[in-house]
Homo-oligomer: A and B are copies of this chain.
Amino acid sequence: MARRKLVVALSGGIGGAKLALGLSRILSADELMVVANTGDDFEHLGLSISPDLDTVMYTLAGLDNPQTGWGLRDETWNFMESLAALGGETWFQLGDRDLATHIERTQRLRQGVPLSRITADFCARLGVPWRIVPMSDDTVRTRLRTDQGWLDFQDYFVRRRCEPAVHAIAFEGAASARAQPEFLSALRDPALRAVIICPSNPLISIEPILALAGLREALARCAAPVVAVSPLIGGRAVKGPTAKMMTELGLDSTAAAVAQRYRGLIDAYVVERSDASACTGLDIDVVPARTLMTTLAEREQLARAVLAAADALAEPVA
């Protein structure tokens, strides 16, 4: 029997990166591909910024800032201080070390290097052996229709601190954007072990990925089990506006409602134990687990639970 090998994890920022880190503790370099949302990417101060991609990269490099959940540890803020003195825009915090990522990425993008190749090179240089792949090398931009009009994602998320009420979400460019080729061919690989949808905000972290042309079909056709992890615990997100946004969009802010959102795509759903009984009538395996990942051990433990759920569903490869 051939060994099912590669695990593909779809991730947004902080929550997704935590599970990705747990998976990286178990899986070797050729066993894990983390696909990061790039719908949050934006241009700011002339720089191309990829917040989710960087959070995943910094986390797997062991360089993440455990206090903020974004940016780099041991960061300094002299650039921001001087920028403020010159009257520059300071609503988006860019640390001195973090700036190097954005400046070097922007340079290489301008030279025509695809984002996935830049990311692979950065990972190699930062000692990250696992593959981290942007969902697409094409531009996708998440925009939100709110009570303050249509807003760019970071304008809503950072500048306005998620305060506007969200009425609709659009992923501009997604319909014509091609999923990153390595990502797509992993989904088509008959020996793929699992696709894991990390506990990220479904509306703004996972659905931009799902909105890529042909991606839902590729997931539906994929031979491996697809397992999602609930980002909500007792109706609340560990971090971020998931619950608020779901309510504003007329959805229940529950683990069950997230599973409904993924209906037809996932084969198993890993939820916090106390939420499991409410996830009924889904026609999929509901796997109770501890999903709160405060410690590194908990990240690894959840990763093991998710992989076990996937492996339980998998038919052996002939």
A residues contacting B by CB (< 8 A) are 45-47, 72, 75-76, 78-83, 85-88, 95-101, 103-104, 106-107, 110, 121-122, 125-126
Name 8 A/B residue pairs within 8 A (Cβ), A-sorted.
A76-B76, A79-B79, A79-B96, A82-B99, A85-B100, A86-B104, A86-B125, A88-B100
A45 to B111, CA, bound (A): 11
Q: 7 extra interchain contacts, Cβ-Cβ under 8 A, other than A72-B82, A99-B99?
A: A46-B46, A79-B79, A80-B100, A82-B98, A82-B99, A82-B101, A85-B100
Contact B88 A107 (CB under 8 A): yes
Distance in Å from the Cβ of A32 to the closest Cβ of chain B? 22
The residues of B that contact A45 with a CB separation of less than 8 Å are 103-104, 107
Contact A86 B100 (CB under 8 A): yes
Number of copies of this chain in the oligomer? Answer: 2
The residues of B that contact A99 with a CB separation of less than 8 Å are 79, 82, 96, 99
Contact A76 B96 (CB under 8 A): yes
Contacts known (A45-B103, A83-B104); A96 close to B78, Cβ less than 8 A:
yes
What are the 6 closest A-B residue pairs judged by CB atoms, nearest first?
A: A82-B100, A96-B96, A83-B100, A78-B96, A82-B97, A88-B104
Contact A79 B107 (CB under 8 A): no
Contact A121 B79 (CB under 8 A): no
A144 to B305, CA, bound (A): 65
A45 to B101, CA, bound (A): 12
The residues of B that contact A97 with a CB separation of less than 8 Å are 78-79, 81-82
Distance in Å from the Cβ of A3 to the closest Cβ of chain B? 35
Distance in Å from the Cβ of A58 to the closest Cβ of chain B? 11
A72 to B82, CA, bound (A): 11
Contact A107 B76 (CB under 8 A): no
Q: Which has the most chain B C-beta neighbours within 10 Å: A46, A76, A95, A126? A: A46
Contact A85 B46 (CB under 8 A): no
A249 to B56, CA, bound (A): 55
Contact B121 A87 (CB under 8 A): yes
The residues of B that contact A103 with a CB separation of less than 8 Å are 45-47, 79, 83, 88
The residues of B that contact A96 with a CB separation of less than 8 Å are 76, 78-79, 82, 96, 99
Contact A104 B125 (CB under 8 A): no
The residues of B that contact A106 with a CB separation of less than 8 Å are 46
The residues of B that contact A72 with a CB separation of less than 8 Å are 82
A190 to B313, CA, bound (A): 90
User: Residue of B at shortest CB range from A95?
Assistant: B78
The residues of B that contact A121 with a CB separation of less than 8 Å are 87
Contact A78 B81 (CB under 8 A): no
The residues of B that contact A86 with a CB separation of less than 8 Å are 100-101, 104, 122, 125-126
The residues of B that contact A104 with a CB separation of less than 8 Å are 45, 83, 86-88
